[in-house]
Amino acid sequence: MSDKTQNSENRELSRRQFLKFAGGIAAGVGFGGSLPRLFQLSDGIIAVPASEGYLLIDTKKCAGCLSCMMACSLVHEGKENLSLSRIQILQNPYGRFPEDISQEFCRQCVYPACVEACPTGALAADAKTGRVRIVYQNKCVGCQQCVEACHYDPSRVVWNHEDKYSIKCDLCANTPYWNEKGGPDGCQACIEICPMKAIAFTKDIPRQDMEGYTVNLRGLAWKNLGFPTD
Amino acid sequence: MKGHMGKILRIDLTSRSLSVIDTAQYEGWFGGHGMGSAIFWDLCKDKAISGYDPRNVITIMTSPLSGTLVPSASGRTEICGIGIQSYPTEWYTRSNVGGRFSAMLKYAGWDGIVIEGKADKPVWINIINDQVTIESAESLWGLDAWQTQEEIWSAVMGERNYEGWWQVGTARDSGRSTQKPAVLAIGQAGEHLNRNAAIIHDAGNGAGQGGFGGVWGAKNLKAISVMGTGSISIADPNALIEARRWHQSRQYNVDAPAMQFPTDNFPPMYGTMARTPGFAPLILPVTEPSRPKGCAGCFVACRKRTQSGYSNESTCVETAYYLDGGPEIQWKAADLLQRYGLNVYDINIFNYLRELNKMGILGRGKQIECDLPFEKFGSWEFIDMYCRQIAYREGIGADLGEGIIRASAKWGRLEEDLNSGILPFPNWGFNEHYDPRLEVEWSYGSILGDRDINEHDFNWYVHWMPMVTAAAGQPPAYSAEKISEIFAKKLSPYNDPMMPDYSEEGIYSDAKIKSVAWHRHYTRFYKQSMLFCDWAWPDLINVNVPNLEGTTGEAEPKFINAVTGGNITFEEGMELGRKIWNLDRAIWTLQGRHRDQEVHAGYVYNVPTTVPYHLPVYENGEWKFSTCEGRTLDRNKWEDFKTRYYKFEGWDPETGWPTRAALSSVGLGQVADELAKNDRLGK
């Protein structure tokens, strides 16, 4: 894995790293009971404790096979449906490498608009699930404010139109159809299934820019297949 | 059955009417080819019609595994009906296309599509979940297969056809998707009713063999588009993902491969052994920055998408049929095929045309008028003109659009050129794929069937491995004896260690009869009905694991049962394959099949092999690899082999027709009744 995925010198990230550990102590400060998971930084930015894990995807290694989407839908919903996958792979068959595919997945934002937007507390970042931003389906009333609030397009919060609640990447913390421990301290179905090993997991908050994470999981073996590693 | 969506879409283009077939009626066939043949048997009343006839019934089928996580079985679509390519009879045939169409069709709630009749004007079919409309294709007619798909994406999704969620309709819960509609389309070749026209999907997926592109053209059917947002029920999700992890853990590890390649230039070649990403475009050396590209659910990802965008998703011969002009022209030539919708195997006849040109028979002002600039062979100008002429039936394309076999017959050359082998088309007018004198499961299976079978089940292990290692100056990755040992273990229910013997005696042996039968039955069920991909299955010998043993035998039923909730065994699947093979045989019998026709082209018997061709042989009491020079098939021995093979299958050795006993043994008593009614039941 490239060291580009880690950047401890970034000032903002240092603060995020702090939040990752401080979150449990600060929870609830400055807010009423309706938003118990949020707290406010000194500069006024609303945040929640940082997730204890993140997905990394090498955009140039992905083969666009959609296996991650099928795996995601399978372990979470017990059925196969690309529309119910919390990771979305978009592609243009006539496109030029590497712009032919984009991999759209939840960044477990440090400042999660989806969590902030949820009026019922159905979207949370609890310690017991490694602070991943997770939807508790029994609390979801289907208002879709989380779907709308996500800063990314396509929204990383997915509307489950069959069962009528929002779903999003939880790093497999809650997979009722998979007998495998998930979450930040377990396995993630997309990583396990990706045949190109184009998805990885990190506990360190990845550096982000406008292009998203910069991830390079391509080494000598990839080069020996005749594919680029730069 | 879990994995089925419960309904099959039936479309009569003549009356423009839609109806639904209950999948449960055909559930015992599982899907794909078996289900397609059963539907064809029921709905195509006169099976001796031409493929161009509006009464021809075309089935486009998924399987219970389509759209699921089953590795390399999720994205393939089986197309069946009376073809227009085979010669002299237009046999009931099949073709199979990868990509994501079948997955999307399942998500839309359908197990398959049945096309009957002929539209009075060009149409395309628009499927969005359970909403199906027949749309005018008059504005699409004349576009190539890529342009057609792009136009349909916009028509379905509007201008915002990428980079976001697309909502079906306006209701909150009607479904949404980030995917493009999956489209099967024909190009100009299909519109001109070419017998070598393919159906194209996305950039490089094509159903080529059989000429179904021309069949669609005859029906005025330009394309079928499907967008689905529904779910496929899975009987045991945990068993499915665990089976996938288990199978995948035994395959090529892209970061830590078990097999090391001896040279930089051999990744695609060694990929035929190890099933490496991107091995399908047989381009040496690899210079173009690219990524591997997999069909839906694939663990191999054998294709590529390139930095230039040329040859995206194309495979094998498509990427290597026109080499003389260098890489860029070579890759762009692949795109010509995909855009026009042409079957490379029927137009890859440059040696023949150039030979006729050199002989002074074909060319400008010659007996066979042809204005192709042969002096510029290798240039873009030549291949551009060549493909265009065929697709539009202009110039020499007026003849070549009929397929080279009929063109040669029109020119009065067919018999002579098949006998000499300058036109190497050994079976039913299909181009030679592998040597028919040596790799006989391929040639026997083809002539006993309906087309060039294009099934690599044994081919990777018995031919490619020894050929590639020899070319690289390396010892074989495993011995001929090891092939025998593993085949005996894996090729149930026969388990005969002599099955992979390609010696002069071995190719006519009783073990070879079992080998051919295993191949016919395995492919008919597992590959063409369950839709396990030909380039990934079966997993017989696996260089990625120390004991070299693949997962076949254990894997197929494990996956099927996880999805369906059934309890099928590998051998029961093989028996279903036998059933489907018998049903197809009955259809061909009604089309006029007789054993006298099941003879290869003359050169197979007349012209000895000259090029080294690696295969395992058992000679003088030991297994070894041979290069098999100087071999032909023996006509008398082939006739004797046929007699014994027919008896093995329970068919009439005099005619090759199925008997009542054979058909009844697989539950096809009513098929025997129909043959009897037509005086075609074997004795």
Q: For residue A30, tell me if it sits in a domain.
A: no
Which three-class secondary structure state does DSSP give residue A54? strand
Give A40-57 pLDDT, tens digit per residue: 444 545 568 999 999 999
Give A158-208 pLDDT, tens digit per residue: 999 999 999 999 999 999 999 999 999 999 999 999 999 999 999 998 876
A26 has a pLDDT exceeding 70: no
Q: From the candidates B62, B157, B291, B300, which should be mutated to test the interface with A, based on the most A CB atoms within 10 A? A: B291
> Closest partner residue to A80 among B203, B204, B234, by Cβ?
B234
Residues of A in contact with B101 (CB under 8 A): none
> Closest partner residue to A94 among B74, B179, B203, by Cβ?
B203
Are β-strands B362-363 and B368-369 bridged in parallel, bridged antiparallel, or unpaired?
parallel
> What confidence score (pLDDT) does residue A230 get?
92
Q: Alpha helices, DSSP H only, in A158-219?
A: 189-193
Number of domains comprising chain B? 3
Nearest CA in chain B to A59: B291
Domain boundary among B174, B204, B227: B227
Q: How many CA atoms lie within 13 A of B414 on its CB side?
A: 18
Rounded CA separation A149/A106 (Å): 13
Q: Do A90 and B232 touch (CB under 8 A)?
A: no
More confident residue, B270 or B311: B311
Q: Do B162 and A67 touch (CB under 8 A)?
A: no
- CA distance readout (Å), B303 to A63, B314, B316: 9, 7, 9
Residues of B in contact with A224 (CB under 8 A): 257, 261, 264, 267
Same domain, B256 and B300: yes
* Contact present, B305 and B110 (Cβ < 8 Å): no
A21 has a pLDDT exceeding 60: no
What token pair was written down for A54?
């993140």
Q: Do A65 and B286 touch (CB under 8 A)?
A: no
A20 has a pLDDT exceeding 60: no
Across B528-577, the runs of DSSP E, i.e. the strands, are none
> What confidence score (pLDDT) does residue A44 get?
47
Q: For residue A36, tell me if it sits in a domain.
A: no
Q: For residue B671, tell me if it sits in a domain.
A: no
Question: DSSP string of A101-164?
Answer: EEEE-----SS-HHHHH-SSS-EE--GGGTT--EE-GGG--S--HHHHH-SSSS-SSEEETTTT
Confidence bin at B281 (pLDDT 50/70/90): confident
Same domain, B255 and B142: no
Range of the domain at B631: 440-654
Q: For residue B676, tell me if it sits in a domain.
A: no
Average pLDDT, chain B: 96
B111 has a pLDDT exceeding 70: yes
Q: Do A228 and B289 touch (CB under 8 A)?
A: yes
Range of the domain at A90: 3-14+52-220
Same domain, B241 and B215: no
Give B286-328 pLDDT, tens digit per residue: 678 999 999 999 999 999 999 999 999 999 999 999 998 888 9
Q: For residue A21, tell me if it sits in a domain.
A: no
Indicate if the alpha-carbon torsion angle B507, B513, B516, B518 is positive or negative. negative
Range B148-157 average pLDDT:
96
Confidence bin at A214 (pLDDT 50/70/90): confident
Confidence bin at B261 (pLDDT 50/70/90): confident
Q: Do A60 and B291 touch (CB under 8 A)?
A: yes
Number of domains comprising chain A? 1
Range B377-383 average pLDDT:
97
> What confidence score (pLDDT) does residue B476 get?
96
Q: For residue A80, tell me if it sits in a domain.
A: yes
Q: Do B229 and A81 touch (CB under 8 A)?
A: yes
Same domain, B513 and B650: yes
> What confidence score (pLDDT) does residue B536 get?
97
Same domain, B348 and B450: no
Confidence bin at B284 (pLDDT 50/70/90): low
Give B611-663 pLDDT, tens digit per residue: 999 999 999 999 999 999 999 999 999 999 999 999 999 999 999 999 999 99
Q: What is the CATH number of the domain that holds A197?
A: 3.30.70.20
* Contact present, B262 and B273 (Cβ < 8 Å): no
> What confidence score (pLDDT) does residue B266 get?
67
Range A4-32 average pLDDT:
34
Rounded CA separation B409/B613 (Å): 30
> What confidence score (pLDDT) does residue A17 get?
40
> What percent of chain B has pLDDT above 90?
94
Q: How many CA atoms lie within 13 A of B302 on its CB side?
A: 27
Same domain, B174 and B27: yes
Residues of B in contact with A95 (CB under 8 A): 305, 309, 312
Rounded CA separation B580/A83 (Å): 35
Residues of B in contact with A219 (CB under 8 A): 255
Rounded CA separation A119/B133 (Å): 41
B140 has a pLDDT exceeding 60: yes
> What confidence score (pLDDT) does residue B164 get?
87
Same domain, B211 and B278: no
> What confidence score (pLDDT) does residue B263 get?
63
Range A12-29 average pLDDT:
34
What token pair was written down for A33?
């009971």
Q: For residue B429, tell me if it sits in a domain.
A: no
Residues of A in contact with B297 (CB under 8 A): 65-67, 70
> Closest partner residue to A66 among B232, B257, B297, by Cβ?
B297
Q: Do B298 and A65 touch (CB under 8 A)?
A: yes
A75 has a pLDDT exceeding 50: yes
Domain boundary among B195, B227, B259: B227
Rounded CA separation A171/A54 (Å): 8
> What confidence score (pLDDT) does residue B158 get?
86
Helix, strand, coil abundance in chain A, percent, nearest 5: 25, 15, 60
Q: From the candidates B241, B276, B559, which should be mutated to test the interface with A, based on the most A CB atoms within 10 A? A: B241
> What confidence score (pLDDT) does residue B450 get?
98
Same domain, B369 and B249: yes
Q: For residue A61, tell me if it sits in a domain.
A: yes
- CA distance readout (Å), A196 to A130, A191, B246, B303: 27, 10, 16, 13
Nearest CA in chain A to B67: A80
> Closest partner residue to B286 among A162, A219, A226, by Cβ?
A226
Q: Among residues A5, A86, A200, A217, which one has the least CA distance to residue B291?
A: A217
| Shortest alpha-carbon distance between residue A58 and chain B (Å) | 11
Nearest CA in chain A to B308: A96
Q: Do A192 and B245 touch (CB under 8 A)?
A: yes
Same domain, B380 and B456: no
What token pair was written down for B502?
């390609």
Same domain, B157 and B246: no
Domain boundary among B390, B420, B450: B420
Q: For residue B460, tell me if it sits in a domain.
A: yes
B400 has a pLDDT exceeding 80: yes
Between chain A and chain B, the number of residue pairs with CB atoms below 8 A apart is 214
Q: For residue A41, tell me if it sits in a domain.
A: no
> For residue A200, which phi and psi values (nearest 5 degrees)?
-135, 170
> What confidence score (pLDDT) does residue B264 get?
61
Q: For residue A101, tell me if it sits in a domain.
A: yes
Rounded CA separation B390/B502 (Å): 38
Same domain, B451 and B314: no
Q: What is the CATH number of the domain that holds B526?
A: 1.10.599
> What confidence score (pLDDT) does residue A28 get?
29
Give B22-58 pLDDT, tens digit per residue: 999 999 999 999 999 999 999 999 999 999 999 999 9
* Contact present, B99 and B296 (Cβ < 8 Å): yes
Give A102-151 pLDDT, tens digit per residue: 999 999 998 999 999 999 999 999 999 999 999 999 999 999 999 999 99
Give B174-183 pLDDT, tens digit per residue: 999 999 999 9
Q: For residue B314, tell me if it sits in a domain.
A: yes
What token pair was written down for A114?
């989806």
Q: For residue A107, tell me if it sits in a domain.
A: yes
Same domain, B248 and B208: no
Confidence bin at B160 (pLDDT 50/70/90): low
Q: What is the CATH number of the domain that holds B269?
A: 1.10.569
| Shortest alpha-carbon distance between residue B275 and chain A (Å) | 11
